[in-house]
Structure 1
Amino acid sequence: MEIEGKLGSVILARLEPHADLLESILEIAKRHKMKAGVILSITGSLDRAVFQRFQPGRDSTQVIGVEEMVGPIESSGHGIIGIVDAPDRGDVPFGVGKYTHGDSYAHVHLTVTNATETVCGHVMPGCIVRSNHAVSHFTIMIAPIEEAALKLRIDGTPDAGSRGVYHLLETISA
């Protein structure tokens, strides 16, 4: 499935030292009422990075683990923005982002490097902006996609046994 939308005005944001990267992205998405968006660039230094990535599992299976890297760290990333569509979940927060139905949602990939390693994974809460200067140069660029909605659809509840997690793409009339 595919739909078309229009790339809106690009938002350039400088994040302040000690800001949480994921929280900052979600705040921008909420403030601009984005139903769909693209994170074009994440560039800057972090004191700490927290991310999910595949870990070696038993019997050649893959499991997802949460890792932390301490800084100084250089980072580069990109991602997508949408909204949570989980009407069956009620008002009880769930998942890594403690989401509820209708919340802004971000799926962000970040590559981070310190003096000894470089890794890539999904951004989690706890990625903390670093700056050696009073005014940070950690910059993100985000653009809304107008006339479109990207919905993180979550069917059912955890106690229902099975549930689906997928993206719904919808065209919105101008």
Structure 2
Amino acid sequence: MAYVFGGRRGPAALLLAMALLAGCKPGAEGGYDRVSWRGDPAAPVNAFPDPPEVVPGSSAIGAKATPIVAKNLPAGVTQAMVDAGQTSFGTVCASCHGQNGTGSPAAPTLNDMAWINITGQYPEIVNIINVGVPNPKEHPAPMPPKGGGNFNDAQVRELAAYVYALSHQGGA
């Protein structure tokens, strides 16, 4: 039975280990600089980063998405808001709710009249985007406020206009 640091092979093994590790000292010739992963403070992370810039034809919506011609919009909601909301939806929301609101295992479908957490009226959609869904009824993860994006109030109203238009495509 051979022992690494004891018995007959101990001194030779110790010298070999020291020779191999000599080049690994911080700052040693040919060695690597020390990289600390425990003692250094963590880099600050923005919990709500700005949505990525939308380049026409390259977003999650892209050229495949057909603009929605909204019908029966609530008072104060315009087609321009729906169009802007569709663009913003592709930056953050589509990652969970799917392109065109088709849904995914992470989040519900938004392009039908079936609502899980609200009744689907425009003010409710604005509110749920702002506050999120901390305890979803049917999906595994909560939706953070503003979907985890850094949307301003106007963008939230535009997103809500788009989601409203998605769910009310057939009218009413």
Q: For this structure pair, what is the TM-score category when the shorter chain's length is used for normalisation? A: under 0.3
TM-score (norm 1): 0.20
Tell me which of the two structures has the higher relative contact order, counting C-alpha pairs closer than 8 angstroms and 6 or more residues apart.
1
Which has the larger Rg? Answer: 2
TM-score normalised by length of structure 2: 0.20
Structure with the largest fraction of strand:
1
